[in-house]
Structure 1
Amino acid sequence: MIKSEEVEEEEEEEDDDDDDFEECETLTELDDINILSMTRNIANMKYYLYELREKSATTIQAAWRSHRARARYILVKRELLRDKAALVIQRAFRHWTHSKRQKTTANLFQGFDRIREEKLKELQREIKMRELIQGPVKMTDMSRLEETHSTVQGKLVSFYARASAGKSRDQALEAKYNNMQATALILQDSSSLAQNEVDLSWYYCQLLPHATKARLQHKQELCNISKPWWKKLQHDET
């Protein structure tokens, strides 16, 4: 019985050793799988970073090229506009100098070419044909022309009179408005009789009490109201 028990214990120990060995093998296999997955992930990450770097480089290059192209286009456009403006100025100056040269070099007493006889006969023939078709030209009477001229001249004089009257009326209204505005400003800024402002000149003058000083100041401000509006503005400025 003792031997059988020992045999059983040995068999159990061998079974335990086999189980441990199998567990070690499974652990090594799992470690290998983890290592392979990690290496695969690292390779994928490297590839992703490489693609990201390439993409960012291409976007930066495209942005820089577009910026450089826009800057070059702006410079070229400015140069073209400057050249165009210079051409326009040169043409205008040449045209002006040419016209001025023609005016200075032209002879005022130069004779004009007379009409030829053939052209004169042709024009006379056209006039006769027009008179035959449309009838003779009716000329207005001289007295009627003088009457219309006088009426037009009278209307023109009345128009200028109304315009000048309207202008003077506007000037008078503007002067009245300025006068009223200056008066309102003086009344707003004027001090009352009961108000006594502290002034260092009061202490220098012993013969002028405070009430007399305030009363004289109020009276002077009331006298300023009757002045012309331009003097009021000058008084306010001073």
Structure 2
Amino acid sequence: MMASNDPLEDKRVEDLASHLAETTDKNVPNLLLALQDILDSVVPGSQRADKIKKDIWNFELLQSVLLALKQDFSLINGKWNTAAALAKILAHCSVGLDPPDSHEFHALFLPDAAERLLILSRNIQHRYCKIPEKTLTLKDDLIKNFKEVVDSLQWLYSGHLFLTTNVLRSNYLLQMLITDDRETSIILLGMVQSAVRVNSLVLNTLDEKVVHSVLDEIIFKLSAFNDAEIGAAATRALVNIADVHTPLIRLLYTRYKGLRPLLSRWTGRGFGRDLKRLLALLDAGSAQQAELHRLHRAATTIQAIWKGFLQRKKLKKANRGLATLQRSYRAKKVEKSRIQEYEREQKELEHQLLMARRKAIRETRQKQLDMISAMPPGDVNKYLAMSQIQCAIRIQARWRGVLERRKLGLRKATARQVKAAITIQRHARRFLKKQEEKKKEPLLWQPPPGLDDDRRVELQKVIDEKRNKGTPKERNREAQEELHKQAQEMLLRYFAFRGKQRKTYQKREALLASLETDADLLTNAPKLEDASNRDVYTFTSHSAPIAAKALSNHREELLLLRQPWWRKLHIEEKTDDEIAEEYDTEFKIL
């Protein structure tokens, strides 16, 4: 994709150069504006952008832009807007360009370009100051063009730092600084501040007279102007220059002795931070003292920020603690009121129940009195005797209930102990059974059951026949080792599963023996009328849970036999879970 676009870009630059060669000088600036579209079509800093900049230099289009900036743009179409656009093209094409003839570019072209941009800025400033205030639209356009040209100049010397020396010692810059206009003064002070910040050693390369001239103009604006923005820009410029050029502090202290009281009139004008820094520099009187003051202020600021952070952290913690305390107090208060309300309701309910009980007792006694008064006199004593007997029966029933409820806990504990004992016995029998089975297991070195000598001789003959049937292939050392390794793995796998197979075989044999024993027992069982106690003992289980389950099943079968046939239609078989739940219920009853 890049290879297909490069010839197109080269052709556009070449076509623009051919058009410029054929046109008149008046149309050259407007044609050169097409360079901006070419630059905008590529990514800044890419290889395509570098190639286009070299093509612009090789076709001498950049030199044409510099020559076009020397014209009077009041007669050109677009006027000073065209000049500002050409200044932007000149700056953006010059930054990042490294042509083969580097000496010509750096020693001749770039200083000339910086000087031309300063001249263009001075011309725009001159026209801006001459225009009356009534034509505000034209003044707005000119100040916008002036700012664009200054921004292009800043872009140019930010890419080539040695140009900051040419800019600051230029007479055109001093001429522009000597102005009473507010807008251009602010922009120029910002440019001076930017140049010193870009190249911190630029003031060391300038003559003392140049530095004094620049400082005279900056301090003059502090003394002669009342506008807060100009004062802020001048103060900020002095502070930034003093940060990168420490001899300036001593110069301000010795050369401009009246600056300290002069700055007091700018207090409270909106730039107090920069003003405090400048006053601190003036109070220090030397670079060492200023550095100490700066470090002291930095330490004080860090301590203040850290203490503020700690206090805010404590305040947040206190707020959270207070909120938690309030929330806990409110919750306890709500819980206390709820408990009080609940107790009040319970007391009210108890009082109502007591009154209802008393009322019922009074009504019952009144009915008894009415009934006794209606009885014949001879039956009254009999009725009272029967009432006393019934009351005694009730008291005895209540007391027996109390005694039985007292014994219920002991019965539950006994049932729990019986259940625990049964569980322990079951696990013990299972463990002993496993131990007996392990003792009965044959050792691994013993031959498997059923392999006698005849069978062994027969298998040995089969093995010999298979060996004699085909001679083994000749194998190298590695193949033999691999075969030996496979045989060992198969042998280990056989021995690993051999014990499990024997256990399965023994379990199967034991189950078959148990089934045969049960079958013989059921086959030889006598009839019910001929059964003796010994036969009953043979079919009786010694496990309490099994006996309880058998008894339950027997009762169910008897109950089912007594039922009519139509009740047996909807009887469903019970699941294992229902049977287990039923067993647990019966065991608890027992």
- Give the TM-score category using the shorter length: 0.3 to 0.5
